[in-house]
Amino acid sequence: MAAVAKLWSERGDIVGNYFDLQKTAGNHQDVEQAAALKIQTRWRGFYVRVHLWKILDSTITIQSHLRGHLGRKRFGNHQRNVARGERDHYFHLAAKEVQRYWRGYYSRKYVHNFSARQQYIARILAAGNTLREHMHENFEKQKRDLEAENQAKAFQSFDESIKGMHHLVSTETIPGVYNSPYAAAFGNTPTVAGITVEEHLRNTAGGGTVPALTTEALTAPTISGTVTKTKSVTLATPPFHTSVHKEELFEDYQLKTQKVVG
């Protein structure tokens, strides 16, 4: 009650203060209104920016989740495609291997008889070996015949070349060209088919012919020895180890004898 009584006693001052304040507020109304507008503007801007930031954050979150979902989906599809390709490749290889074995089995059983083919190839190889042996035997026979023919021609040429060379035969006092005592001493007297050249010349000079030569003599006739000097004409002096069947050797004999006679 005391407070009420106190307020009642001061009611005049309160009313006066109220009207003073109203007047003061009226005088500052424009300033306050401008301040309120500024505060409202700042608040609306802040509120709108906060709202936009929330919308942007939500959008980014939604986009990231969507991108992650789509990426995982694409990756899953890629993995499934790769796995499908690997399975297809494996099954294709397995199918090719099965087909290869089946074709081989079918070919061996119904198309080509493997055992018959082996026998046929064995017969072909045997026939080829037989033919090769016959051809080799025929070749050796032809080779021997040709060598014998060449040797016969060579001996005939040798027989013709020593005809009329009786002056080269040794006498009782003077040894002949092919009967050198040095050659006899060293054991390299010239021979043809195992017969000394001196004996060949004696048989020819006596009106005979060169003795018939055996197959062994025709096979490996050799001439050995050294040619001596006569009338200051130097003859070639290599050992006569070359086969007589070479015609060039007998031509060389003929040239040498012609030089000696000249």
| CA distance linking residue 6 with residue 10, whole number of Å | 6
| CA distance linking residue 186 with residue 208, whole number of Å | 30
User: Higher-confidence residue: 242 or 27?
Assistant: 27
Other Cβ atoms within 10 Å of 43 Cβ, number: 10
> Which of 81-90, 113-122, 179-188 is predicted most confidently?
81-90
Tens of pLDDT, residue by residue over 39-76, are 999 999 999 999 999 999 999 999 999 999 999 999 99
Backbone angles phi, psi at 243, to 5 degrees: -65, 145
Tens of pLDDT, residue by residue over 142-191, are 999 999 898 888 878 877 777 777 677 777 677 776 777 666 666 677 77
DSSP string, 174-215: S--TT--HHHHHHT---EETTEEHHHHHHHHHTT--PPPPPH
> Which amino acid type is present at position 78?
H
pLDDT of res. 112: 78
| CA distance linking residue 200 with residue 212, whole number of Å | 11
Contact between 157 and 247 under an 8 Å Cβ cutoff? The reply is yes
pLDDT confidence bin for 98, thresholds 50/70/90: very high
Q: Residue with structure tokens 């000097």?
A: 229
Q: Tokens at residue 217, please?
A: 């003599």
pLDDT confidence bin for 82, thresholds 50/70/90: very high
Q: Tokens at residue 123, please?
A: 């017969």
| CA distance linking residue 24 with residue 18, whole number of Å | 10
| CA distance linking residue 77 with residue 123, whole number of Å | 63
